[in-house]
């Protein structure tokens, strides 16, 4: 059985950032990976729509859904979610009651598009749990973040980061080439029940290696 790795894309639940999310979704669809988001609107819907529109893809669109708020229109799941994981958890912050832990822990690699406090907490949790994470768009937010947080100026740099981290032995999976992965990926990627791979260094990383600044992917 081929087990595909999972790439989590985090970002605003309000603003679509279509110019970033759409090309990213299309490129990820050609890598032989599953796409994971929070299953809502904004960036989550935009990247999911683009990913799902690629007919020759091996991966599926996974949405980790928060507990609906009584009387509120949640927007979860968006129409492009193919596997909906319904939780009893909230959708904000790094508290244990937040589904953001599930988003990060289930992902082999995390890509963070522009967002608000929820996205920032997912970046912090990525560092905490040892998940490779790269910022794409609004790179001013990288100031003060630990050196483990990479930055990318283009979608090509994001894809290079994802492929590199999936190939470097962290998951044991080598992603397919853009435009089609042939047999659908190789065994060895972490599935939906992935376990934390790094030391718990705390959700708020504003000391220590932060002085080194975020890693930047060379063009």
Rounded to 10°, the helix 43-52/18-29 angle is 40
pLDDT band at residue 198 under the 50/70/90 scheme: very low
Instruction: Please give the structure tokens belonging to residue 26.
Output: 């299309």
Q: Judge whether 56 and 28 are in contact, CB under 8 Å.
A: no
pLDDT tens-digit series, residues 94-113: 888 899 999 999 999 999 99
CATH topology classification for 6-216: Rossmann fold (3.40.50)
Mean pLDDT of 53-60: 96
**Whether residue 199 has pLDDT greater than 90:** no
Host H or E run for residue 13: none
Domain ranges of the chain: 6-216
Identify the residue with better confidence: 174 or 40. Answer: 40
pLDDT tens-digit series, residues 136-148: 999 999 999 999 9
Residue entry with tokens 């603003």: 15
pLDDT band at residue 92 under the 50/70/90 scheme: confident
């Amino acid at each position: 059985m081929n087990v595909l790795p999972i790439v989590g894309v985090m970002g605003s639940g309000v603003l679509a950032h279509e110019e970033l999310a759409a090309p990213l979704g299309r490129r990820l669809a050609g890598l032989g990976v599953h796409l994971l988001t929070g299953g809502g609107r904004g960036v989550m819907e935009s990247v999911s729509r683009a990913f799902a529109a690629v007919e020759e893809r091996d991966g599926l669109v996974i949405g980790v859904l928060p507990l609906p708020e009584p009387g509120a229109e949640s927007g979860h799941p968006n129409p492009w979610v193919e596997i909906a994981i319904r939780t009893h958890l909230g959708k904000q912050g790094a508290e244990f009651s937040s589904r953001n832990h599930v988003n990060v822990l289930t992902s082999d690699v995390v890509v963070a598009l522009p967002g608000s406090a929820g996205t920032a907490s997912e970046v912090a949790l990525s560092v905490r749990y040892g998940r490779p994470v790269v910022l794409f768009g609004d790179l001013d937010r990288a100031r003060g973040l630990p050196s483990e947080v990479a930055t990318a100026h283009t979608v090509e740099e994001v894809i290079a980061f994802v492929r590199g981290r999936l190939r470097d032995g962290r998951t044991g999976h080598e992603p397919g080439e853009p435009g089609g992965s042939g047999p659908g990926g190789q065994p060895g990627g972490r599935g939906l029940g992935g376990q934390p791979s790094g030391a718990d260094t705390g959700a708020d990383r504003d000391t220590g290696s932060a002085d080194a600044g975020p890693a930047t992917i060379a063009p």
